[in-house]
A and B are shown apart, each in its own frame.
Chain A
């Protein structure tokens, strides 16, 4: 199984995402933002970072990268796509997911080991979890507040499309404490916290994040 990880100018957690993919047992393929070609990967990860310096708005410029035309088309055909942090922002700007991410309500960059509840264990990226499972994964961002209008939020919750929610106190002002969502098909997932930093006992708070990457091994759809 080949999982592509896109590098935009300013992507930071791309190498970490590739490591997580390898640890999960898949082949990590580095995809270049300017290259409108997914090279036959079976899934794509849009990693964390500050693509284009977060200029204009987070992910606003990256969404127009040549590779994104292919990612959007492939996602619409069912290719699993995971957007982590900045990647989630890119997915929202691309309208592959509803809503938007704004500045943390306390206005600071915050790096913390965050407890989450995995609410939807049926998506391409969460099938290795069980619904209701609690995990601890690093959360590190300055613009992590998920917002959407009430109608959208009601629909997301009604359709079980909230993938993960923050446990305990809301760390950034996200509406309804939403940490991650999915599209209606369940192949596109956006997540604010960083599962790729919770894959090794040595460097992470837990290894709870690895299952995001092992889940996709069982969801094989080629681009």
Chain B
């Protein structure tokens, strides 16, 4: 079993009200010097067998069609080394 991680973030030009709320809360709790926060999603996919190129292509397709909405989100895919 291997793990592939898909990180999904809102495109930079899309308003992220949740990230903004977090950024405002941090200094209130004493965490200074943080210029900005964007909030996203992380999908951990447990896959059978090894992570081949085919497997990665399959996962990129899944990321493109289901895990993210390309109209408003970008994604990255990486294999997690144990």
Contact = CB atoms under 8 A, between A and B. Distances in A.
Interface of A: 56-57, 60, 64, 92-93, 98-100, 102-107, 145, 147-149, 173
Interface stretch (B13-21, B46-54, B74-82): B13-21
B69 A100 contact: yes
B6 to A, nearest CB: 12
A148 B71 contact: yes
Contacts, number: 34
Interface of B: 10, 13-15, 17-18, 21, 66-67, 69, 71-72
10 contacts: A92-B71, A93-B69, A102-B14, A103-B17, A103-B18, A104-B17, A107-B21, A145-B15, A147-B14, A173-B17
A60 B66 contact: yes
A147 B66 contact: no
Nearest to A99: B71
Contact of A107 (B14, B17, B66): B17
B71 A56 contact: no
The list of the 7 closest CB pairs from A to B, nearest first, reads: A100-B71, A100-B72, A107-B17, A105-B17, A103-B17, A57-B69, A100-B69
Contacts of B17: 103-107, 173
Nearest to A58: B69
Contacts of A145: 15
A102 B71 contact: no
Contact of B69 (A60, A98, A103, A104): A60
